[in-house]
Amino acid sequence: MENQGMAVYCESLIKLYKTKDFEVMALQGLDLEIETGEMMAIIGTSGSGKSTLLNILGGLDRPTAGKLSVNGTNMLTLSDRELIKYKRESVGFVWQNSARNLIPFLPVLDNIELPMILTSAKERRTRALELLEMVGLSSKRKRKLYELSGGEQQRVAIAIAMANKPRLMLADEPTGSVDTHTTGIIMDIFYELHMQGHTVIIVTHDLAISRRVDRVVAIRDGRNSSEYVRRSYYADALNTVGNLRHEPVEADHEELLTLDKVGRIQLPGEFLLSLGITGGKDKITAELENDKIVLVKKQTTETDEAAN
C-alpha cells in the first residue's frame, strides 16, 4: 500500500449501504492522501459523503471496498477487537453535538479522565489537568456540564477526545453550534494540536473555517472533486492577526481540480451551467492548445439525436 508518511491513504474507496428495498453508494471510488501532522478541512453538500468518510476514518463504520490505511493500519482487515482498540487509542472524535462526548452527571475533570480509565492509562489526573489547561478551562474542572456554556462544553469534548493521546483528531462540524468568538477559540485549540504533530481533519460547511486551514478537499457525489490550497500559509496569517479569535482571515486559496486513478475529473457545476451542459446526452470535446486543455461543448446535430 502506497502510504509512506501518510496519516490517511484512500484508494478507490467505496461505501455501499444496503437495505431490503434499495442501495446507496455514499463513497464512489474516493482517492485521498493526507500527510501526517496536516491540518485540513473537508467540505461538501449534504449527502456528498464527507461525514461517511469521517465515520470510516474514526472506526465507526467499515468501508465496503477499496484501500484505506490510517497511520499504517489497514482499516479493511481489522477484527472487531482491533477496531475497538483503534477507536479508544488511535483516534479522537469531536461532534457538532458535544453531548455525544460528555456524561452530564460527571464533573468536567471526571469526564476527561473516563477514557483513560477504559484504557488503564497511568497518571490520569495529571493528564486531565494538562488537557484542561490546554483548552483554557482549568478553573472549571469541578463544574457540572449544565454549568458550562455550549462553547465550553465543546472545549471539554476536545479535551476528552485527546485524553488517550491519539495521533488523529477528527471533527464533524465542531463549530456548528457556537458563535464566531468561540469558533476562533476552538480553531486555536485545533491549531495547537496540529503544531504538536497531530493530524487534524475537520468536516465543515462553514467557508470561514475552511479559510483557516492550508488545504481544503471538496467532495462531490462520493468522490473528491477539487482541492483548495492556500498560497499564504496559516502560520503567516496567525502572525498577522495575533490569534484566530479575531475576525476570519481572508485567506488566498487556489482551487485545483483533482484526477482520480483512472484519469476522471469532476468539473465545477457553475462551469457546466455557464456552457448549458446538464449531463445526459450533452457531449464535450477536449482540445490541447499549447500547455492547456480546452473543453468545448459539442453542438448536437439532428444526426446525433437520431443516433441517440
**pLDDT tens-digit series, residues 71-112:** 999 999 999 999 999 999 999 999 888 777 788 889 999 999
Q: CB-based burial of residue 174 (10 Å sphere; 0-12 exposed, 13-18 middle, 19+ buried)?
A: buried
| Average pLDDT of the residues in 299-307 | 56
- At residue 237, the pLDDT reads 44
- At residue 175, the pLDDT reads 86
Q: Is the pLDDT of residue 231 over 60?
A: no
**pLDDT tens-digit series, residues 139-180:** 999 999 889 998 999 999 999 999 999 999 999 999 888 888
CA dist 78 and 91 (Å) reads: 15
Give 48's contacts (C-beta < 8 A, 6+ positions apart). Answer: 219, 220, 221, 222
**Is the Cα torsion angle 143, 146, 147, 148 positive or negative in sign?**
positive
- At residue 230, the pLDDT reads 63
CA dist 283 and 211 (Å) reads: 35
CA dist 110 and 38 (Å) reads: 30
Kindly indicate the confidence band of residue 222, based on its pLDDT and cuts at 50, 70 and 90. confident
Residue 23 phi/psi, 5° resolution? -125, 145
CA dist 41 and 172 (Å) reads: 10
**pLDDT tens-digit series, residues 243-266:** 433 344 344 556 666 666 666 676
If DSSP codes are grouped into helix, strand and coil, which group holds residue 132?
A: helix
CA dist 153 and 86 (Å) reads: 25
CA dist 224 and 201 (Å) reads: 15
Higher pLDDT, 215 or 291: 215
**pLDDT tens-digit series, residues 38-65:** 999 998 888 888 999 999 999 999 999 9
Kindly indicate the confidence band of residue 205, based on its pLDDT and cuts at 50, 70 and 90. confident
**Kind plus residue range of the DSSP H or E element containing 278:** none
With beta carbons less than 8 A apart as the criterion, state whether 215 and 227 touch.
yes
What is the set of domains in the chain, with CATH numbers? 1-90+167-265 (3.40.50.300), 102-165 (no CATH), 267-308 (no CATH)
With beta carbons less than 8 A apart as the criterion, state whether 36 and 71 touch.
yes
